[in-house]
Amino acid sequence: MRWIVLAGSVLLQTCLGSVYAWSTFVPNLVRDHGLSGAQAGMVFGLAIGALTAFMVLAGRMLERFGPRRLASAGAVLFGAGYWTAGASGGQFPVILAGAGLLSGAGTGLAYVCPLSACIRWFPRHQGLVTGIAVAGFGGGAMIVSGVAGSLLHRGVPVLDLFRWMGLAWGAAALAGALALQMPPSGGQAATAPIPVRHLLRHREFQSLTAAMFAGTFAGLLVAGNLKPMGLAAGLPPQAAVLAVQIFAFGNAAGRISWGWIFDRMGRVALPLSLLAHLVAAAGLAAARMEAAFLLLSGLCGFCFGSCFVLNAAQTAAVFGHERLGAVYPYIFLAYGLSGLTAPAFGGWIYDVTGSFGKAIGAAAAILTLGAVAVWRGRPADAARS
C-alpha cells in the first residue's frame, strides 16, 4: 500500500508543480492581454502566498479530515483556478483571482498531505522519501513549460491553455489525491501540539524559517522571471523556454538529491545549499552565453529544490514526524512571504532598470544572511520542545 501512496503523492505533486512554469506564460500575457511585468509577477506571487496560508490551515485540519479528503478538495480548487483564468477574457483581476488565489489555495490544501503520509509510511528514510514525494513538484513545471511553450510558439492562445490545464491537470491531481491515506498505526499515538508562541521562540524553528525565506526568495525571483531573464540576456525564445524546463528539471532532481544528502550529512546540508544557490544565482545574472545560462538555470533549480526537502526533513527530525503537518506549514509561511515579494520585485526592477542584475544582487545578500542564520542556529540534536 505504501508504494501506491508514494505513486499518488508524486502524481499529485506533479500537477501542483505547474505553478513553477508560470514564467512561460508571462510574455504572452504581456503582449496579448496588456499585463505589466509586475502584474504578471503578482499573479505568481499571490499563488505562492495563498499556497502558504492555506497550507497552515491544512496542517491544522489534516489529522481531522485525513490526507485523501483534504488533498481532493485542494485538487478541485486547483483545477477550478486555472479554468477561471482561462475564462477571464484577459482581465487582470480575474486572472489574479483564478491562477493566483484559487489555484494557490488548492495547492496549499493539498501540498502537505503527501508529505505527511509518505514520511509516516517510510520513517527510516524521511529525507529521501520527502525528496521523491516533492520531486514531482519540480517535474510538473518541466512538463508544463515544455508542452505550453511549444503550443504558445505555434500560436495557441494562452487563455485556452489555462482552460485545458484546469480540466486535465485538475483531474489528474484528483486521481493522485484519492490514492493517499495514513498507515494503520498513524492514528494510534496522539501527540500534543506545540503552541505557536513556543515555536516562535525555538531557535531551530527560527533558523529553518530564515533558511526557507532566503532560499525561496532567490528561487522564486528566478522562477517567476526566468523566461524574460533569458530574453534579456539575448537568448532566442525557444532557448528561454528551454531554460524554464531545465530549471524545473534541476528543481526535481535537486529534491531527490538533497534528500539523499540530508540522510547522510544532516543539518549541515542547509547552509551548504544556500551558499551553492548564491553562486548559481550570481552566475546566472552575469551569463550571456546560451550554454552557460542554461547550465546555471539548472543549478538554480537544483538549489531551489533543496528548500522543500531539507527544511521539511529537518523539521521532522527536530519536532518529530508526527508533528510535521502541524509545524512545517508555519515555516512554509516564509515561502509565502517570498512569493508575495520576490517575483514582483524582480519584474519591477526590470521594468525600472531594464536589467535583473540588481534584483539578483539583493537575492544574493539575502542568501548570505540566511546561511549565517542557519549556521548560528541550534544544532540538529537539540532537545525537542
Query: CA 271 → CA 193, 265, 302, 303, 374, distances in Å?
Result: 28, 12, 15, 11, 6
pLDDT the model gives residue 126:
65
Question: CA 138, CA 146: separation in Å to the nearest integer?
Answer: 13
What is the chain's Cα-based Rg? 19
Residue type, 276: A
- Residue 183 C-alpha cell reads as 498507515
Please state, as a whole number, how many other Cβ atoms lie within 10 Å of the Cβ of residue 172.
17
Q: How many CA atoms lie within 13 A of 22 on its CB side?
A: 32
CA dihedral 166, 98, 15, 79 (to 10 degrees): -40
**According to DSSP H, which parts of the chain are helical?**
2-16, 26-33, 37-86, 92-95, 103-121, 126-153, 158-164, 170-177, 196-201, 203-223, 226-232, 237-265, 269-286, 290-319, 324-353, 357-375
Question: CA 215, CA 102: separation in Å to the nearest integer?
Answer: 25
pLDDT the model gives residue 378:
57
In the CATH hierarchy, which fold is given to the domain comprising 2-182+197-375?
Growth Hormone; Chain: A; (1.20.1250)
- Residue 226 C-alpha cell reads as 526566468
pLDDT tens across the length of the chain (385 residues): 778 888 898 899 989 988 878 878 988 898 889 888 778 888 988 898 888 889 888 887 887 888 999 999 999 999 999 999 999 988 999 999 999 999 999 999 998 888 888 878 887 776 777 777 777 776 787 788 888 888 988 889 999 999 999 999 999 999 999 999 888 864 444 566 677 788 888 888 999 999 999 999 999 899 888 888 888 888 888 888 888 888 878 888 888 888 888 888 888 899 999 999 999 999 998 888 889 999 999 999 999 989 988 998 888 888 877 777 778 888 988 987 887 788 888 888 888 888 888 899 999 999 999 999 888 775 544 434 4
**Farthest-apart Cα atoms in the chain, separation:** 58
Question: CA 58, CA 104: separation in Å to the nearest integer?
Answer: 13
Q: Is 375 exposed, middle or buried (CB count within 10 Å of its CB: 0-12, 13-18, 19+)?
A: middle
Q: Is 155 exposed, middle or buried (CB count within 10 Å of its CB: 0-12, 13-18, 19+)?
A: exposed
pLDDT the model gives residue 190:
52
Contact at 8 Å (CB) between 247 and 22?
A: no
Question: CA 150, CA 152: separation in Å to the nearest integer?
Answer: 6
